[in-house]
Chain A
Amino acid sequence: MTTSPTRPAPAYRRGPGRLPYLLLLPCLVVIAALLLWPLGQVAVMSLYDLDSVRQVRGQRPWPFAGLANYREILSDPFFHTVLRNTVLFALANVFLTMVLGTLVGLLLHRLGRRMAAFVGGCVLLAWATPALTGTITWKWIFDDTNGLVTWLFNALPSGLSSSLFGRSEWTGYGWFNSPLSFFSILTLVVVWHSFPFIAVSVLAGLKSLPGELLEAARVDGAGPWRSFWSVTFPLLRPVFGILVVLSTIWDFKVFTQQYVLAGGTQDRPTFMLSIYSYATAFSPPPKYGLGATIAVVLTVILLVVTGVYVRSLLKQEEL
């Protein structure tokens, strides 16, 4: 170790003092006021009986309800249906999104340069499309009179259509009427919207891998399946971990797509947590306290998932 002569730090870098805190102040105020305070407030509201806007405005007293709201939803069979819908939907969507996204990522990695650019560009368009207009377009595709899907099913030879589905006339068929078909279409919409992010991220991960490893696996006679599970997956495990967590968080709180497909908040059998919370609070008669309680349940579930996410991120990222 040579002792270098201590150079005086330039004025600019000498002891930061209070400056960094001053620079952070506006940001901290905004985050505290618009994210952290409401997060606390939603928990507080869940402990009260709030059923009028005047209470929300603070013009009327808030009757304390203790845990009554929690007892009410936990003993409500409908809440159990909603919770089951949410969990099953999230699991199915995370699974399908991850599988499709990973396959497309691997595909993009294998395609020639021009083809990869073209397919990648198309995939990005799906990602970029706003949830709202993407969903409206899917709803149009499944429209019961002039929608493309209805047209395609009508175009099937009627004998085939009758023997397969028990009907040959599809005009007027309500694609969104049964919960199962509603959730299938919602899954289609959500997966369509979210697989591009997975594909692009997996592709970025693949590009960071040393090519020799996969080459060596191939030389040793490993097929694509084998080399994925023995080489690619273990190396990209952190990427996959984070992608699964992010997808889980996103798919647990799907709102816009559901709101648009269901045409508002009337379709109770297909409720999931976020729309249930919203409808409880804002559909007449408003029940803000109960809505807040459902929001707390959603938040707690996601906090657990987030805990896992942040821990895995902290292990890798040099902050």
Chain B
Amino acid sequence: MRRRHALNVVGLLVALFAVFPVVWMVSTSLKSTPEIFSGGPLPFPRSPTLEHYRTILTGDLIPGVTFVDFFRNSVLVALATVLISGLIALLAATAVARFRFRLRTSFLVMLLVVQMIPLEALVIPLFLMIQRLGLYDTLASLVLTYVGFSLPFAVWMLRGFVAAVPVELEEAAAIDGASRAQIFRRILLPLVAPGLAATSIFSFIVAWNELIFALTFLNDQSRYTLPVAMTFFFGRDDTAWGPVMAASTILTIPVLVFFLVVQRRMVGGLAAGALKG
């Protein structure tokens, strides 16, 4: 019994360590400026205020550009990434889950290997590519890049979902005279939808969180995505922790919500077959 208690106490300490920064971020964003300056360890705001949210949402951080613009840029980039990456991944996942062909295994091995390429090492050559394509300082440059980064894992994740749809359903439809396109649209697509949603969330998080490439490919401040804007106005004024934490909270919350929806798949996908072993 005492052992059980000891374990529970350790468990609570672990939970505290894990969750504390998140709680601290949200609570700081809700504290009044004087309370932040008092620097106390109170994990909850004494009298919650939305003043910092008002500051970042209405105030012009840079003349003519507000936080809302950065938010919109981020949403645009993430949505475009999700759509393009999801479509391409679905086609590829169907190919590997439904057909046996000669280069299938090679393709799967390649998917694993390319996921290990350190993206940080690709900033310089991709900068060159973006410059030459005339895409420098456009949001399209980021969409292109993020589609490339999210695709291998998206295919890897999605092929399991496609494989889980019973082939018999498709065969039955084929016997009833449905064409391949019809089978794809009427049978496979609806049944794979949950998997597609999970994959989309993964791609969304990749695009939403990315900093280095956005930092490198964007120049005009009105085109900054949220992460770039964060480092920008975070670097300028080190004392404005209230607005900084409010902005951080806005950036973080969608990711937390989405992540909790798909976390099981992420574990399964990342550690691949290891866990079955």
Contacts and interface: CB of A to CB of B under 8 A. Distances in A.
B139 interface: no
27 contacts: A16-B101, A23-B94, A26-B92, A27-B92, A30-B148, A34-B149, A35-B117, A35-B122, A39-B122, A41-B125, A42-B125, A115-B11, A116-B11, A124-B259, A126-B21, A130-B227, A132-B230, A133-B25, A146-B37, A147-B39, A148-B24, A192-B17, A208-B275, A242-B272, A249-B116, A253-B118, A274-B121
Where chain B touches its partner, the secondary structure class is: helix
A156 B110 CA distance: 56
Contacts of A281: 123-124, 127
B195 to A, nearest CB: 16
B35 to A, nearest CB: 10
A197 B211 contact: no
Contacts of A115: 8, 11
Nearest to B123: A278
A111 B14 CA distance: 12
A132 B91 contact: no
Nearest to A139: B234
B128 A45 contact: yes
Interface of B: 4, 7-8, 10-12, 14-19, 21-22, 24-25, 28, 36-41, 88-89, 91-92, 94-96, 98-101, 103-105, 107-110, 112-114, 116-118, 120-129, 131-132, 144-145, 147-149, 151-152, 155, 167, 170-171, 174-175, 180, 183, 205, 208-209, 211-212, 216, 227, 230-231, 234-235, 238-239, 241, 244-245, 248-249, 251-252, 255-256, 259-260, 263, 267, 270-277
A36 B114 contact: yes
A125 B152 CA distance: 25
Contacts of A31: 110, 114, 148, 151-152
Interface of A: 10-13, 16, 19-21, 23-24, 26-28, 30-31, 33-39, 41-42, 45, 53, 56-58, 104, 107-108, 110-112, 115-116, 118-119, 121-134, 136-138, 140-141, 143, 145-148, 150-152, 192, 196-197, 200-201, 204-205, 208, 238-239, 241-243, 246, 249, 252-253, 255-256, 259-260, 263-264, 274, 277-278, 281-282, 288, 291-292, 295-296, 298-299, 302-303, 305-306, 309-310, 313-314, 316-319
Nearest to B256: A128
Given A21-B101, A124-B259, A150-B39, A27 B88 contact: yes
Contacts of A260: 231, 234
Contacts of B95: 19-21, 23-24
B66 to A, nearest CB: 19
Where chain A touches its partner, the secondary structure class is: helix
Nearest to A296: B121
Contacts of B22: 125-126, 129, 134, 137
A16 B108 CA distance: 18
A301 to B, nearest CB: 9
B110 A197 contact: no
A162 B276 CA distance: 54
Nearest to A297: B121
Given A295-B124, A302-B118, A310-B109, A34 B144 contact: yes
Contact of A277 (B121, B167, B230, B231): B121
Contacts of A41: 125, 128-129
A125 B18 CA distance: 7
Contact of A313 (B14, B105, B274): B274
B132 A57 contact: yes
A182 B260 CA distance: 31
A248 to B, nearest CB: 11
B241 A146 contact: yes
Nearest to A312: B274
Given A10-B174, A128-B260, A316 B124 contact: no
Contacts of A252: 118
Contacts of A208: 275-276
